[in-house]
Structure 1
């Protein structure tokens, strides 16, 4: 595509160079620049694209785009085109869609947002649409799935991938004869305009918790990010049982559909939901509401509900010696509480192994400590992607919320040893919850990203216990 064709419907000022040149792609990352690319020098939360213009040019960029007029043209060769546009993130979204020939217009796209439950609801919708005979893609935290088959993971474990990657992926979905795509829409992805030029047929708002307040600069900014989905979607579905979500729905110009623990868009017929936990009952009802929004009658939806199963890392169960171990992604106070409530319903001892991630969401740490101490009979605190923070300091933050509870608490900073200790101490009939990482396959410690899978460590811990028992 010629640059002139790409920008003809986009306001811009040409500072230098020609717009009559071929464009092969667009990116905001200098590491992904190829010959003939447009490099968008956008200011991000951590780094400024202006610092990487030279690297982009060395790799073959022929156009630089920015939303700031303070660019130093003296360091850019005259043959390189330089454009100033009003909003860099919106331009990336627009250009990515156009360079892929707007594949979203050929698909029915459902976007799911919420602090908790996005992955589960997305997979539930995908499972039911497949059961209805459709060809479906699910894109989110756990990766890319087409018709239930894992295709690839998403770089940097992003919940909502950048527009420059999303639109080529949607084009691939069209080429694979996919008709429906379910996307996880994170608050960060929404406020960064990653879905701005992705036509969304149905948006779903599940809940609003405290996770990511720090990253957005406060509670209201986080809520405003979630509200972006109302502006993008043709139809909205809202959790009526979440008071904040309900109030947001009432504020919007177009009235949404609602679901709750006792109904799906007003329908109160029985649903044979066989996944554990009241929160997953609600997740299943959200998925059912999506199918109703697509035009499926309630009686037909009822036929597909009984086959729903949880995705990897969501209350994923492994048992030996009468000990049940659950691996779950719960990494917020709300998520940890609903999972522990579900496990406590079985009336057994529950040992919780968890930590909190570093470099983010400090205020949730004592809250999660309090939740774990309240609902568990034993808590083992450990590391969970400490990143650049000291793991011991993170654990001290969590411990500050556990005072006043009689629950015994142990600390083992090494997550592998913490899991082994929990399984070695467990007795017949006990339940162990290993929370926080779920499907993740790595552990981020300092500058190192190391292989680590909770479920694999659980299985290895039982082998270790077996060997220990044989020796004794």
Structure 2
């Protein structure tokens, strides 16, 4: 694709310079530029991509997407727009033939439940014989082929990668795509221009204040996703639900109130599984048996039921699927030599409480391994330590993903609110091994924070790769 094509397509942009230059990719980081790329100059609160244009060109960029009036070499293709983020999304979609128009895309957002709802819908629809895809925190799924992938940025990819995934899915015959939509993805306009068939709200809380700087900005960002949207599926019991109702048209509700469109009652724990009755507009449909712990997962699965039944799925088929439902890195339960090991992505105080409350009492002692990412704010870390102390008998405080930050400072904040017996082991691999080697038969070891993430950026800038489950299997000599 070249500048002439863009000039003809996008009358709202100023396209000039070398219009015959072909480009093959679009990147936001000048350090990752390869010959033939466009560089998009994005602005953030603490950075301005326009400052890195020269570096991008030096590394092989054939063109740039900019907002500023700047002088360029006549051999450079220039796309000037009032909003670089919107231009980035529009050009990315056009480059791949506007694939979202050929797909039924369902966007799932919220503070908690995005991955679980999106992934289980993806698996359910394939189970029902409907070719479906998944894009989210834990990876990419195309029909029955799922790949654990650490997306960068996580959860919702930048537009060029996002539309590439969508094109691949469309070309492969996918009909439905279940996609996590993060607050970063909304605010950064990564999803700009995508035509969503349905939008789903999981459970709201508060997170990512390091990025949003205020609770209000975080909430406004989430709410904006539903602005004017018709018949979204909303968690009627969620925090801040009134704000979502205000902006939505004819919402559909799910939750624990039989007055909702879809509801659950009589939740019961059965060791490491749960069951609950499901109602549609107050009428009993039947009982779901789910091999995943936690009241919050009853809400998550009810969101799955709500959308599936609105699309015509039978309750009996959903009930059959539920019996073997699982999500990588979300309340994954293993048993090794009589020790129960739980791996979960819980990375804020509310999620930690939800997970630990669900598993407490299913063994003798509850041992928790946890840390916090480097970009988390101090208040969040303190709350996490307090949440662990509320349920655990013993904990190991360690690193999560330092992201170049000082691990000692992170651990200091976590430790300040830990009121139970604990050990501090900054090396996460050693911390996991310590917890497992000191656990006894019928104990529970909960390893929290990373789920299936494999990349860890250390304080010195180096990157190592491992998954928590890999270390667990190494300790127990499992393949």
Q: Is 1:17 matched up with 2:12? A: no
The equivalent position to 2:94 in structure 1, one of 85, 95, 98, is 98
**Do residues 258 (structure 1) and 271 (structure 2) align?**
no
User: In the TM superposition, what is the alpha-carbon distance from 1:68 to its structure 2 partner?
Assistant: 2.4
Q: Which deviates more from structure 2 when the two are superposed, residues 286-295 or residues 33-42?
A: 33-42
How many residues are matched?
454
> CA, structure 1 residues 383+80, in 2 after alignment: closer, same or farther (shift >3 Å)?
closer
Is the 1:113–1:206 Cα contact (8 Å) retained in structure 2?
A: yes
Aligned-partner Cα distance in 1 for 2:316–2:247: 30
1:456 and 2:470 aligned: yes
Alpha-carbon distance in structure 1 between the residues aligned to 2:91 and 2:466: 37
Equivalent in the alignment of 1:421: 434
Q: How does 1:314-329 map to 2 (within 5 A)?
A: 314-329=330-345
The yes-or-no answer on 1:147 pairing with 2:146 is no
For 1:183, what is the secondary structure of its paired residue? strand
Deviation sequence 1:61-120 (CA, Å, 0-9, x none): 443321223x2x1xx212434343111101111111111111111100111112222111
For residue 272 of structure 2, what is the aligned residue in structure 1?
A: none
Change in Cα spacing, 1:297 to 1:257, as seen in structure 2 (3 Å) is farther
Contact 1:111–1:184 at 8 Å: present in 2 too?
yes
Structure 1 segment 29-428 matched on structure 2, within 5 A: 29-31=29-31, 33=33, 37-44=37-44, 47-69=47-69, 71=70, 73=71, 76-151=72-147, 153-156=149-152, 158-231=154-227, 234-244=230-240, 246-261=241-256, 265-266=261-262, 267=280, 268-274=284-290, 275-296=292-313, 298=315, 301-308=318-325, 310-346=326-362, 348-402=364-418, 405=419, 407-428=420-441
- Greater shift, 146-155 or 215-224, is seen at 146-155
Task: Give the structure 1 partner of residue 270 of structure 2.
Answer: none
d(CA) in 2 for partners of 1:107, 1:169: 12
- Render the CA deviation track for 1:235-254: whole Å, top value 9, x for unaligned: 4111111131x212221141
- Between the aligned partners of 1:33 and 1:381, the Cα distance in structure 2 is 38
CA distance in 1 between counterparts of 2:404 and 2:150 reads 22
Q: Does the Cα contact within 8 Å between 2:205 and 2:239 map onto a contact in 1?
A: no
TM-score (norm 1): 0.89
**C-alpha offsets along residues 165-211 of structure 1, whole Å, 9 cap, x if unaligned?**
11121111111111111111110011111111111111111122222
Q: Distance in 2 between matches of 1:319 and 1:303?
A: 25
Q: How far apart are the structure 2 equivalents of 1:256 and 1:369?
A: 37
- Equivalent pair of 2:150/2:453 in contact (CA under 8 Å): no
The answer for the alignment partner of 2:3 in structure 1 is: 3
Q: 1:24 to 1:344 in 2, by over 3 A?
A: closer
CA drift at 1:18: 5.7
The two structures, once aligned, show a CA RMSD in angstroms of: 2.4
TM-score normalised to the size of structure 2? 0.88
Q: CA deviation at 1:158?
A: 1.4
Judge conservation of contact 2:21–2:77 (CA < 8 Å) in 1.
no
Question: Deviation digits for residues 325-369 of structure 1, max 9, x if unmatched?
Answer: 111111111111111011014263211111111132322111111
